[in-house]
Every structure is written in C-alpha cells, then in structure tokens.
Amino acid sequence: MPSTVTAFSIKIVSPGDAGIELTIARDVIGEWNARNALDQKRILLPLDGGEAGPSDSDLMIAFFCGKTETPGSSEVEIEKLLLTGRPALVYFSEGRSDLIGARMSPGPVLEDFKKRYATAIVASYGDEKELRATLARQLDATISNHGHFKTSVSSSSSEVSVAVPEAPAEPPASSTGALSSCAQTILSEACDDFEAYIGRIKVGTLLRIQANGKQLVEPQTPESIATWDSAFHELLNGGYIRDAGCNGQLFQISTTGFEFLKTIGKTPVGYIAELGGM
C-alpha cells in the first residue's frame, strides 16, 4: 500500500567555485535522512542551483568562497526566502575554494550579512572538517526547531505518496548471475557504508538513490534516471537488497547481496562486518 512521507526541498547554491562544499552539503543531508527519516517520516531533498527557486525551497544552504566575492544575485534569493519565513544557512569560506592553503578572512562581508539578515544562520569555516561538523549541527537544529518544519505539511513541502517496491518472497535463480555496472556500484557504495544503507526516493521526475553519503543518480536526465532506477529494481527483484523501512525509502544489503560482493572482492565495514554481513 502507498504510504505518505513529507518531503522538504533544500536548495544548495554557490556563486563561486565550491565543488567540495556542494559535495559536503549533499553528504550531510544524506546522513540526516539516514538518521532521522525513518522516525520522523520526512525526507530532505537536496536541489542544486537552478533546480528550484526560492519560492519552491523549504531551506537554502549558500556558500561564498571567493576571496573578494560578494553575495550578489544569491543574496536576492536568500532575501526572498527569508521574507517567506523560511530558513537559510549561509557559509563564508576562510580558505581557498579547495579548502586548503593559507587562511583568509571574509571580514566585512560576513559581518554585514549577519546584520542585514538576522534571521539567517551565518557562519564561516576554515576547512572541510569544520564545515562538515558545523553544517551537520546547524542543519539538525534548524529542522528540529524552526517553525517552518514544525507544521505537519508546510506551504512549500509536499506529502508524497510512496509506493513501497515489493521484493519476491525468494530470490529468483538468476540472483546469482551478473549484475549491471550501475547495480554493482549501488551495492559497492552501500558496502562501504557503516550500516550498509541505500536510500531511494522518487518525486515526480526526480530520483535520488543514495549510498555511502553519495547521490548516485547524476545527471538528472531521463536516460540517467531510467538507468539507475532499473539498476535499483534489479537489486531489489534479485534479492540483493531488502526493505529496511521508512515507507519503502530505506534499504539494506541482504545476505544474497553480501555473498555477491564477496565474489568481486568487497567486504562490509562497521557493525555490519561485526555481524558477518547480516
């Protein structure tokens, strides 16, 4: 039977070169989903740059990384979001965009931003470790405490009907055969995750398959979505993964899946390894 889960869109923007920052933001959002989605019955959907406007986003995460960079057009988007009563997390780099090398100070730009946009959370970071920890802490606090997320369904979020994919009672005989490259990638990434989790959510034309803190469906084109979705169901229907709850949006590698991984030289990590691969 279809279940409902509240989906919140998180827009990630950067007017500069913030490749590592964008990856960290997607990872932190994925980790939040893995920890909380099952209990809270809600999912955070990371959307890059042009995928959504301020009116379509429940929260915005913005990065400013250039030494002389000013907010510019991104500032307008943040202002529009704040005016609707929704939150924004804004981060200014104290280092080069690759997060290594000599530190610098965002100085007056950061302080001016704090004064003009008091309802936004504004912070700076010096390296990857500091950014990851700060963003994880502030994202969790925002989702837990901000009024926009306390309503059961916000004005811009949506209750999504999610059909739980059904796996066969017993894996078919072909389950020990070869897997497609995308299916193997999903399994391999999940094998490197501490809890061997795989997250999957499809809303409209958007598909997210996450494993080991990575969003695997890239780019978001019809061809790519069809390929990865087929690979996911290849694993599910073959008995390589099993439903782990969260309205059919969280999965774990099954015993059959771990047996297959052994044939390609992969072994589980974390407590899954201690349990002998489930």
Yes or no: is domain 165-274 CATH 1.10.10? Answer: yes
User: CA separation (Å) from 218 to 28, 53, 86, 115?
Assistant: 18, 20, 28, 38
Can you state the angle between helices 222-237 and 181-191, rounded to 10 degrees?
70
Is this structure's pTM higher than 0.85?
Answer: no
For the 3-158 domain, the top CATH level (class) is alpha beta
- Residue 272 and residue 112: Cα distance in Å, rounded? 48
22 close to 63: Cβ distance less than 8 angstroms: yes
User: CA separation (Å) from 46 to 29, 34, 93, 116, 193?
Assistant: 7, 14, 21, 26, 20
Q: Residue ranges per domain, the chain?
A: 3-158, 165-274
pLDDT in tens, 215-264: 899 888 888 888 998 999 999 999 999 988 766 788 989 989 999 999 98
- Give the 3-state secondary structure of residue 174: helix
pLDDT in tens, 165-221: 444 444 443 444 578 999 999 999 999 887 788 988 877 778 889 888 888 998 888
Q: Which residues partner with 125 through β-bridges?
A: 93
Side chain identity at residue 103, one-letter code = R
